[in-house]
């Protein structure tokens, strides 16, 4: 029987590259995106998430072998509440809503796309992070809307980094119970990747300079291509990585090592 994969953010960027990677590996791929996909749903809303889960269960006949959550918004997106809504609450809705179908799969696994940007802010004891992990979307929205005046101009970056940090934590939090249920769960944390999302950020007057400076310390390549990240996701999700579980795997060209050489 042909294995089935669900990929969110499937219409462009890393998600589109993942779809190609998985199809090449012989999987049947069902894509989720706002438009131009098998399932068109808005993961920024509770109703859109519910529809995406219902449609994915229907099309997969409640048997999923691979789930890859790539859908995400960059710091330039407005309103900033949508960044948190898609990057964290959209992801956790898919993880939790499709968990039983993954248990019915064959050596099933799930991979979530986080970001190396998640490490750029200190989150220990931060109420914003705790609100994410408590699943309190209203509290997250309220905090982002009422940042102190000195932080308000960076609201998009704060929403982006916090959502990517929290989603990596969500993976770690679920690892023990998912592992006992026979489903592997990991996160991949890319650095700068040449995607339409990155191009939109570069064009933004508020965040463009910071994004331009967020480049890998490699002598040959400053940014990854979507296929580079898709290759890693394909490996982590595959039967070739049976003992990789509960991990956050960086694919950032050394950015995290350069910025935090004494932490890992």
- Return the active site residues: 160
Q: Which of 48, 52, 47, 49 is nearest to 64 (CA)?
A: 52
* Residue whose entry in the numeric block shows the structure tokens 């996701």: 233
29 by DSSP, 3-state: which?
strand
Which H/E stretch holds residue 6?
A: strand 4-8
∠ at Cα 78 (134, 202), nearest 5°? Answer: 110
Q: How far apart are CA 160 and CA 242, in angstroms?
A: 30
Cis amide bond preceding 249, omega within 30: no
**Residue 98 φ/ψ, nearest 5 degrees:** -110, 5
The closest alpha carbon to 84, from 166, 170, 201, 205, belongs to: 166
Between helices 13-24 and 226-237, what is the axis angle to 10°?
50
Where do the H-state alpha helices sit in the chain? 13-24, 46-60, 80-84, 91-97, 99-103, 127-133, 137-145, 155-180, 196-202, 208-212, 226-237, 255-259
Cβ pair 75, 157 in contact under 8 A: yes
């Amino acid at each position: 029987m042909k294995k089935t994969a669900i990929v969110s953010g499937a219409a462009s960027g890393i998600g589109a590259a993942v779809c190609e990677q998985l199809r090449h590996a012989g999987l049947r791929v069902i894509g989720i995106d706002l438009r131009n996909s098998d399932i068109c749903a808005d993961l920024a809303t509770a109703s859109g998430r519910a529809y995406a889960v219902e449609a994915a269960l229907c099309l997969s006949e409640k048997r999923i072998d691979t789930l890859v959550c790539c859908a995400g918004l960059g710091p330039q997106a407005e309103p900033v509440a949508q960044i948190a809504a898609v990057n964290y609450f959209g992801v956790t809705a898919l993880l939790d809503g499709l968990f039983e179908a993954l248990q019915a799969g064959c050596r099933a696994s799930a991979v979530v796309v986080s970001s190396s940007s998640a490490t750029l802010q200190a989150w220990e004891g931060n109420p914003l992070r705790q609100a994410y992990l408590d699943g309190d979307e209203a509290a997250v929205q309220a905090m982002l809307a009422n940042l102190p005046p000195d932080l308000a101009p960076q609201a998009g970056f704060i929403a982006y980094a916090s959502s990517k940090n929290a989603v990596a934590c969500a993976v770690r939090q679920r690892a023990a119970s998912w592992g006992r249920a026979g489903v592997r769960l990991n996160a991949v944390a890319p650095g700068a990747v040449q995607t339409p999302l990155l191009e939109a950020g570069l064009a933004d007057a508020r965040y463009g300079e910071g994004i331009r400076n967020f480049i890998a310390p490699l002598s040959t390549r400053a940014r990854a291509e979507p296929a580079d990240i898709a290759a890693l996701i394909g490996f982590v999700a595959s039967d070739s990585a049976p003992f990789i579980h509960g991990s956050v795997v960086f694919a950032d060209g050394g950015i995290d090592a350069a910025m935090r050489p004494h932490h890992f």
